[in-house]
A = this chain, B = another copy of it.
Amino acid sequence: MPLRQQSLDLAILGRLLQAPSHGYELRQHVNAVLGYFHVVSFGSLYPALKRLSRAGLICDCENGPPRLMASRSRRVYHLTPAGQDRLANELASVDSDAWADDDFGVRFSLFGLTAPASRLDVLVGRRAYARERLARLDSGMAPNADRYATELVRFARQMVASEIDWLDQLIAAEQTADGEVLTGGNPT
């Protein structure tokens, strides 16, 4: 389960706003936070950094002009003003992509930079999406399926149901105390 370009861009921009960083470290951070959902390889990360750099959204021009390609020492990127604008726009525009599997994890990890109303939109959208998946799991199963296929669907159903529970709690928390989140109690 790779992380598609657009989502990777968002993750990079978001992280760089929190802290200027270089590719290697960026990858460690993204894989630590999103590793359950996606894995980012260098083969996608470095080209992405170049692309964003050429687009003027990020820059490694801490001291003087951007270095030429030759050097292989650390290249610390930070957001340009254009990059900050882009990030703000992306985070504010919540459409159905925002709760799809590719984007949701990235979006959620950047909730700290996201307006409360947008956070709620993403969570509610994600919950509706998860409920659809649940309905599909309940209805799509052939009645003559074998034991193991049935068990697999049951497990999937349980996973999706758990996520819905989690989203319920998050939504409730967002709605009551603006910005407060789960207490972190162990749900086992």
By a CB distance below 8 angstroms, the chain B residues around A163 are 155, 159
Among A57-65, A81-89, A91-99, A102-110, the stretch in contact with B: A102-110
A158 in the interface, Cβ–Cβ < 8 Å? yes
- A119 to nearest B CB, angstroms? 9
Interface residue count for A (Cβ, 8 Å)?
A: 48
Q: How far is the CA of A35 from the CA of B138 in the complex (A)?
A: 12
By a CB distance below 8 angstroms, the chain B residues around A34 are 152
A182 in the interface, Cβ–Cβ < 8 Å? yes
Q: For window 120-155 of chain A, which residues contact chain B by CB distance below 8 Å?
A: 133, 136-137, 140-142, 145-149, 151-155
Among A25-33, A41-49, A71-79, the stretch in contact with B: A25-33
By a CB distance below 8 angstroms, the chain B residues around A170 are 151
How many monomers of this chain does the complex have? 2
| Binary contact track A141-181/B, C-beta < 8 Å → 1, others 0 | 11001111101111110111111001000100000000001
CB atoms of A149 and B188 under 8 A apart: no
Contact with A137, one of B36, B111, B112, B152 (Cβ below 8 angstroms): B36
CB atoms of A111 and B148 under 8 A apart: yes
Contact with A142, one of B29, B140, B154, B182 (Cβ below 8 angstroms): B29
Which A residues are closer than 8 A to B by beta carbons?
1, 18, 28-29, 31-37, 101, 105, 108-112, 133, 136-137, 140-142, 145-149, 151-156, 158-163, 166, 170, 181-182, 184, 187-188
